[in-house]
Homo-oligomer: A and B are copies of this chain.
Amino acid sequence: MVNGNYLNPRDIDFYLYEFLDTEALLERPRYADHSKEIFDATLNGAQDIAKKYFANHYAKGDDNEPTFDGVSVTMIPETQVAWNVAAEFGLMAAHHDASEGGLQLPEIICKAAGAYIQAANCASSGYYIVTASAGNLVRNFGSKRQKEHFLHPMMDGRFAGTMALSEPAQGSALADITTSAKLQSDGSYRIRGQKIYITNGDHNLTENIIHMVLAKIEGAPPGVRGISLFIVPKVLINEDGSLGRRNDVALAGLLHKMGNRTATSTVLHFGEREGAVGYLVGEPHQGLRYMFQMMNELRVGVGLGAAAIAYRGYQHSLQYARERPQGRLPSNKNPLTPQVKIIQHADVRRMLVAQKAIAEGSMALTLYAASLFEDSQTLPHASDKERAHSLLDLLTPVVKSFPARYGCVSNDLAIQVLGGSGYIRDYPVEQLYRDQRLNPIHEGTDGIHGIDLLGRKVFARRGDNFQLLMSEIRASLVDGADIRSVEHLISPINEALERVEHVTASLLERITADPDRGLSNASLYLDMFGHLVVAWIWFRQAVVAAKKLSCDVDECSEIDANFYHGKLQTASYFIKRELPKTSHEAKILEENDSICFDMQETFF
C-alpha cells in the first residue's frame, strides 16, 4: 500500500498524464480557469477523504448492514459522515458547470478521484455515484423547475437519487415492465407498481430520495416504445422548494446481499394507496432513451468500481506476498536455510502479475472511457466529439463487463495468494471478493452486454464505429512499430484484431439469417472482443513506458524505471499469455458452434 492508498497514486498519475493527456484539457475553453495544480489538489483531496471517511467503515459496514424496522432504515453513523464529506467535497457536483453550482472539473479527474474512494469503500461510495448520475439525467432532460426542485438538492447532498428500472416479474427485460402512470389534471402523474433491486432505494442519509422511475403511461404502445421516465420523490416538494408530505412510495423490504452491504438494495412499492406522485421527464414514451444515459454512465461507473476493487485486492496480496515468509524454492532442499518471502515463489508471482494485468488494465480502460466521455462533451469540433462518442458507445459493453468479470478473477487470485488468511475475515480480500461479485450482475449481465455488443453495437452505423476502433488499434500498433521493447507484442495483437474482424464479418450474415442461433455465442464474442481491447490498452501503456525508458537515463529515476519495466512486463503477460486464449473462442464463433444452443431442456 502506497501511503495508505489502495490505489498507487504514481500509477493513477501515469494514466492521467502519460497514458492519457489530461493536461491538454486545460487548453479547452471550459477548463481555462483550471490548472494541473487544481487537478492534483482534487486527487489529493480524494485520497484523504478515501482514507479518513470511506476506508474506515469498509469492514464495519459489511458486518453491520442497514436494517429496516418497518418504519425507517438504520445504518452505521460512518456512512452518514462519508455522505456528508462527499457532498462537502463536491462529489455530486464537481463535474457540473460553475454557473450551475459545480466545480466544472473534467470527467476524467472526477473519475480518477472517485476511483480512490471506490477502492476504499465501494459500497459506501455508491450513494454519491448513483445520486450524481440521477442528477445528470435531470440536468439533461428535466425542466427548469425539475432542476430547481430536484437537481440542486442532489448536487449539494440534501437529496439522494436512485434508478428504478427492474420489476419482480421481468428483471432485465424492460419491455415487460408493468408500472403504470396516469395523468392528473395538474399535469403530474400517479405511479403504481413495484420495483426490485433498487440500489439505495431507501436510507436515512438524506431528507429526500429522488427516484428516476420507468413506467408506462396508460394507453402507451406496448414494449420499450411505451416507456416513459418519471421523477418520483420520496417526499413531495412544495412550490417554494420546501419539503411537503410523504409521497406514496413505500419500502417493502431490504434485500440481504452477499456483499456490497453498506449499500441498501430494496423492494419499493409505488402507489399502493393513493398513487405515487410522479413528474414526467421530457417527452412521453422516450423514457428508455433518456434512461440509457444514466445506464451507460453507471456502466462505466461499474467498470471503474470493479477496477478499483480488483486493484485494491492486488495491492493487499502484493503487500502480503512481500512480507510473508514461507518455504523455499524448489532448487533448495536445505531446511536449515531461511524461508523466502512468498513473492519469490513463481506461482505467487504469476498470481500477482495476473492481478496487475487485470487491475491496471481495467483501470486504464475505464479512465480511457472517461476521457472519451470528456472528449464527446468538450472537444471543439463536432466531428471529433462524435468520434469520441462513437468509440465510447461501442466500448461501453467492454468497459462495464471486462473489469467486472475479470475483477472477480483478480480478487479470487488475491485470496489465493493469502491462502488460509485470504479466506478469513481478518483480512479484507474475502470482502473484496464478495463485493466484486455484484459487478457482473448489475447494470446488465455479461450475457446482456454480449448481445448488446454483437447484436447491436458492432453493426451500428453500418459498422462504422467498429471500423473506427479497429483503425485506432492499428494506429497504435504503428505507433509502437519502431520500439524494440514492444515489437514482439505487435503480431499477437494484429492476429487477434484480424480474428475479431473476420469473426465479426462472418457473424453478420448469420445473425441476419437466424438471430437466435447467430447470437447464441455472444458472450464469447464479448470476451474475445474485450481481450483485444484490453490488449490494446496494455500495448499503449507499454509504448509509453518504452518511450520513457529509452529517454536519457538521468531523467528516469530507478523507481520510475522499475515502474515502467513493470508496465512492459505486464503488457507482455497480458498480450502473450492471456490474449491468445481467445483464438479458441474465435474458432467457436467462426464455426457457429451450437453445442450449447442444441442442448435440449430435457437433456439436463
- Residues in chain A within 8 A of chain B (CB atoms): 166, 169-173, 175-176, 196-197, 222-224, 255-259, 265, 318, 322, 324-331, 333-336, 339, 343-353, 356, 408, 412, 415-416, 419-420, 422-426, 430, 433-434, 437-438, 440-442, 445-447, 450-451, 455, 514-517, 519-523, 562-563, 565-566, 569-570, 572-573, 576-577, 580-581, 583-584, 587-588, 593, 595-604
Q: Known contacts being A437-B415, A441-B420, A569-B603, is A450 close to B519, with CB within 8 Å? A: no
**Which of B223, B224, B257, B423 lies in contact with A258, CB distance below 8 A?**
B423
A–B complex contacts, Cβ < 8 Å, 17 sampled: A170-B327, A171-B327, A172-B327, A176-B339, A223-B336, A255-B424, A257-B425, A265-B424, A346-B521, A350-B520, A353-B596, A416-B440, A563-B603, A569-B595, A569-B598, A576-B593, A580-B587
Whether A339 lies near B170 (C-beta < 8 A) is: yes
Q: How far is the CB of A249 from chain B (nearest CB, A)?
A: 20
Q: How far is the CB of A351 from chain B (nearest CB, A)?
A: 8
> Which B residue sits closest to A591, measured CB to CB?
B576
Whether A516 lies near B426 (C-beta < 8 A) is: no
Q: How far is the CB of A538 from chain B (nearest CB, A)?
A: 13
Nearest 3 CB-CB pairs, A to B? A223-B335, A566-B603, A346-B520
**Which of B175, B222, B345, B595 lies in contact with A572, CB distance below 8 A?**
B595
Whether A523 lies near B596 (C-beta < 8 A) is: no
Whether B519 lies near A346 (C-beta < 8 A) is: yes
**Which of B171, B328, B455 lies in contact with A420, CB distance below 8 A?**
B171
**Which of B173, B258, B259, B351 lies in contact with A339, CB distance below 8 A?**
B173
Contacts of A330 in B (CB 8 A): 451, 455, 515-516, 519
Contacts of A580 in B (CB 8 A): 584, 587
**Which of B224, B325, B438, B601 lies in contact with A343, CB distance below 8 A?**
B601
Q: How far is the CB of A306 from chain B (nearest CB, A)?
A: 14
Q: How far is the CB of A528 from chain B (nearest CB, A)?
A: 13
> Which B residue sits closest to A524, measured CB to CB?
B350
The answer for the CA separation of A211 and B134 in the assembled complex, in Å, is 59
